[in-house]
A and B are shown apart, each in its own frame.
Chain A
């Protein structure tokens, strides 16, 4: 057998006094696409950097393309393509200038250049934008350009570090097709990701957890481990969130997530345990519930491998008061929201209303206007016309009252990194006007619910990602808001942490909190009661996840996924506009 592209032998890597980032990892990377998956902080980026030679292992050895990384890395670096997490692009250089720079650095002969550029530009569909500055490209286009730069000298090994974070499904699908084509040409590709549907499509996966390699092999091998243990619970309708929480509490349930109107369950191993778990789940779900086996996915096996999901109880929700039903009055309302920047209309006459106790999702490609809409609704941007209301307050005229009613959590965990956990909590308590015993009470509750007490003196920036997520949520819900605004809240976050997050959100919604969320994760979209799909500044579709899926069902695709629906609806809108 030929030497593998990368051979890793017993590699251990430490940073400072904490637990090692990688512990005794041994594996190989061969041709085709290898997925590198694992929770945040599992050591994925460290492993990739070791392969580029930018880091050297404390123990063990790596050989890349047959060369030890401790030696001269120049020949290896000439033969690998590397796309770091933020794509490594110069934002103040144009597309063509970025390509020229990396072509020179990688020693692409000028005679071949025209041909290679031609191929890559048509491959990435960036030809129309060669003169545009990289900083002005959308997330998806940046990602394609980053890939093109990594591909200039036809590498033998392509390393992609979380290439699809913050990128919309259309662009993700394009990127995947491109990488698949490359792998067909015999390039070894290592693709690190938090999206497990991507991992499922890889030829092989490496599953890392807390610095240790848990699994290495074709994803189907892992998926097979949960064969016959995955079920769909249907007929639970609107009460599905409460049912999920209820069912997850049952014995033998490993994992459960909401999929539109249904609930997906993974049960424990062994025939006896399985049957007992199903019986209990059915009884907890109540009358009319049906349980049917369904084909397993990689994600099911992944959660199973890591020891199951986080359970369904949300102490946060339990400690929150039930919000009195205030009739059918909308808690969040958009009335003809329009925003123009010069000639460009970023959001065009967007209207919807979200009743109390519902989750509403804003979906759309990068740059389509969903962030603009979101920002207008939480008061970060003044609409050109139209108005936004939160809990009955006009965001323009009664902004302070409206803001008192809303909690906000942003993409990048916008906490004060230099402040400790306690200091962050104290600041947000104060900023929302909590004082006296109520302030002490709420802070204590947050620390208890999110298990933050052991970390209370640590700077927020030094927290593990999962704890940052918890702290951010704690700060957003500290003042018990009526409406929660979540802007890509779990972007780049692993599935386990994501489940824990949604358990809390689901619990709060059951207590009458109203949620507006933007996301690129299609499985997150499944948690929504209703979704608005924003494209080119307009809401092109509005409805429940099941309704949107149903609207694109056709004979060739009787049971489309949420991602299929997303892409099909955008295609349809493009065609209508072209006509």
Chain B
């Protein structure tokens, strides 16, 4: 199969678009549009990049959720990382974190002052960096959802087996399902359905959404990241809504299994335990993060360096919190596109490639005609 084009076929896209319009029309006139939250940043980006919003009827509203790990990383975490870097520790990070504002500064500024910060594409590169610098402490900035956490756990496991002692992780891992509970009951949001992430679901499995789906009677449809996947997912949501159903529908079953990736889940359970986690713009959510288990604590940078991750402060004008909760569109933020741009981001949603503000700035502006 040609994976580059099979899921972007314009003819199929046209058919799905027509079907979505037809199904939405059957819903009849309502006071408010059907609100679907796409939880994952990669969905947000794919929706914008493919111009999907412009293909939907005005009675369907796609709301971007908090599923960009960079965007939900609190400023206090960045502050702690900068303190580590300034003290001579080598940091290893994904590039997106460099420009995320801490309380007063960014990692990019720390690097320009001379801090040793290595940008990598894969966690395994941190492993090699630590091996090459056996006399130096190397800290990997461990942010991400289940998709990213699993390969980091694999890297830590290997470091443990080989006996690498100069590598540790500053964790700010997040889990998707606990956030969905909070979003589902938010009266201001009034969500009608979740479009659930593709890659996260490949790890956690379709069954992981059952509790959210049942507790809040909210349709959850797992969709891939290709345009046809997304349109098909929206169609699936409309069908559930029209039939007054609320179930977990795995439309990405070419990748996602009901029980997820067993090997990855076992590894995660072996290394990490659930913990409360601070989500930028949302606050502390119980059991929504992962921290090292006691027997893995030598890899925990917070313990190794006796580091305290404080709350930190954000620019009070920044509306990223409301954007992350889907309460406002990026274009409603007074800083959007003026003081805050991808070149000079003020909030994290403008920094990350998968941030909602960045997606809107790059692909949708203040309104693209349909």
Partners in one complex: no
Task: Write the residues of chain B forming the contact surface with A, with a CB cutoff of 8 angstroms.
Answer: none
Task: Write the residues of chain A forming the contact surface with B, with a CB cutoff of 8 angstroms.
Answer: none
